[in-house]
Amino acid sequence: MFKVVKRTHEPRWFPVLQGETIYVGQLVSMGLTTAGYGVKALGAASGGGGIGSDVVPWGVVTGINNKVMTYNSTYHTYSTLGVQSQASQVARITSPAFVGVEGFSKADPMPYVLVDRLDSTTQIKGTIFNATYGTAITKYTNTTQSTTGAAVTTAAVGNTPLGYNKILYAIDGKNAGLYRGEGSGTSTTSHVPDTYWPYDVEEGDKFKIVFLSLGTVKAQFDTASTCIIAEPDYSSNYWWLDVDLINLEKDGEEYAIFRFNPLTFLGVR
């Protein structure tokens, strides 16, 4: 999931778009492009920088105004559902029951979520998974020794990477714990770092490979915008992120700290 680690706005309550299931820790959008009144999942980018759908990141959900929380075992967090009909709203008075929120009538039964608003200076921590939330990042085995540290050779990665938009983390071997960013190459099997590994890369050494790097890079989220995808097809659809940190050390807890590039917030293009 996502979490704001350097806040630039005070959190505020916003209504949930009818029919939308919203999760704590989810990236959301709001406004004209949500085709309704309320927040919805930001989702995966459509087009370069999300321009295809003109969707702008609005914030990260941090709270829900339900008295009785609904736990989601897939995303390991709480969720709420936007409702539309009169009957569904009135039913919320007793189940799950709700708490009135600041900025709106305390008697309004419409679902609301607390959102940490974003801009291009807001730092966000996002978990990294392979294809879908909770799916472990693939570990690749080097198949060819490199005595110069100039290459890692593996089975094919999930999609074709972009030059300078991929990072490798050495799990074991002489280079254990080190990171190297990919150079200009786009091979799915031969990974040539811009700066070579300082020690020999031995046959059998294991690596994690993620289609991210430090600085301004292309990236993609899952359709529910609950995580960063490790090996996306970002040839046409991607978000522009300004990445400050990548940590791939602990299995299942890999993450990046990033900001959305300023161009992402140009809602009127």
Amino acid 48: pLDDT: 80
d(CA 196, CA 205) in angstroms, rounded, equals: 15
How many CA atoms within 13 Å lie on the side-chain side of 180? 22
Contact 63, 24 (CB under 8 A): yes
Amino acid 31: pLDDT: 80
Q: Domain residues of the chain, as ranges? A: 1-134+215-269
Residue 168 CB contacts under 8 Å (≥ 6 apart), including other chains? 152, 179, 180, 181, 182, 191, 193, 207, 208, 209
| Burial zone of 108 (CB within 10 Å; 0-12 exposed, 13-18 middle, 19+ buried) | middle
> Does 96 sit behind a cis peptide bond, omega within 30 degrees of 0 on the bond before it?
yes
Residue 112 CB contacts under 8 Å (≥ 6 apart), including other chains? 13, 14, 15, 16, 64, 65, 98, 101, 104
Contact 144, 151 (CB under 8 A): yes
C-alpha 133: how far from chain center:
9
Render each residue's pLDDT in the chain as its tens digit; 269 residues.
999 999 989 999 999 999 999 999 999 999 876 678 999 999 999 888 776 667 889 999 999 999 999 999 999 999 999 999 999 999 998 888 899 999 999 999 999 999 999 999 999 999 999 989 999 999 999 999 999 999 999 999 999 999 999 999 999 999 999 999 999 999 999 999 999 999 999 999 999 999 999 999 999 999 999 999 999 998 899 999 999 999 999 999 999 999 999 988 876 55
Amino acid 90: pLDDT: 92
pTM of the model: 0.94
Strands 123-129 and 228-229: parallel
Amino acid 218: pLDDT: 96
Amino acid 32: pLDDT: 72
Amino acid 53: pLDDT: 67
Nearest to 182 by CA among 160, 203, 199, 204: 160
d(CA 45, CA 42) in angstroms, rounded, equals: 8
d(CA 242, CA 191) in angstroms, rounded, equals: 23
DSSP-assigned letters across all residues of 3-23: EEEE-SS--EEEEBPTT-EEE
d(CA 19, CA 150) in angstroms, rounded, equals: 52
